[in-house]
Structure 1
Amino acid sequence: MIYWLLFWTFFKIGAVSFGGGYAMIPLIQEQLEALGWMNAEEFANILAVSEMTPGPLATNTATYVGAKT
């Protein structure tokens, strides 16, 4: 069930955000904090690792969040 909720959360973010990965970051953070999956400090750590990893920022962030939850 968590996978469906995770998919639905990122689907909503992707459907309404324009401007690439950096435009999605505040929306992702807001949703994760609202659902209680992680706090701002954990998200900042995820974002730092996602920026260092090769590939699209939003995809790396979503993958790391999925692995973390």
Structure 2
Amino acid sequence: MNILFEFFLTFAKIGLFTFGGGYAMISMIEHACVDSKQWVSHDDMMKITVIAESTPGPIAINCATFVGYKQKGLVGAIAATLGIELPSFIVIYLIAMLLDNFLEIAVIANAFKGIKLA
């Protein structure tokens, strides 16, 4: 399997099936990148996590970008970053497309009115 596609697929699975934000993804990223794929060592993963916490942006995206860059340079960084971002983007895009239909349901429209007041 092409390593760039493997970066994309691995990080897409993490991005799609992890709930709780970037900090919840760190252990899954470490398991995939250190234990399963052996793309980086445990020490490298600790360094990547520290750097990702100190740089601006979401920590999971920063970790994915650093892992991809360490293995395959700029194209690896792009593949890993797209992999972790794309699932969330697609889900949010679909929800946004369907939101108009949801707002036509009386219960949901009233709930949003209540949220707006709060």
TM range (shorter): over 0.9
Q: Give the TM-score, by structure 1 length.
A: 0.95
Question: Deviation at 1:61?
Answer: 0.8
Amino acid of the structure 2 residue aligned with 1:54: P
Amino acid of the structure 2 residue aligned with 1:43: M
Identical residues among aligned pairs (%): 43
Where do 1:25-36 residues align within 5 Å? Answer: 25-33=26-34, 34-36=36-38
* Structure (1 or 2) with the greater helix fraction: 2
Instruction: Find runs of 4+ consecutive structure 1 residues off by over 3 angstroms.
Output: none
Q: 2: distance between equivalents of 1:5 and 1:44?
A: 22
Q: How many residues align?
A: 69
Q: 1: distance between equivalents of 2:70 and 2:5?
A: 15
Q: 2: distance between equivalents of 1:64 and 1:39?
A: 13
Match for residue 77 of structure 2? none
Question: Deviation at 1:28?
Answer: 0.3
Contiguous gaps of at least 5 residues in structure 2: 72-118
Q: Give the TM-score, by structure 2 length.
A: 0.57
Contiguous gaps of at least 5 residues in structure 1: none
Match for residue 45 of structure 1? 47
Q: 1: distance between equivalents of 2:59 and 2:21?
A: 9
Amino acid of the structure 2 residue aligned with 1:52: S
Where do 1:53-68 residues align within 5 Å? Answer: 53-68=55-70
Structure having the higher Rg: 2
Question: Deviation at 1:68?
Answer: 0.4
Please provide the CA RMSD for this pair. 0.7
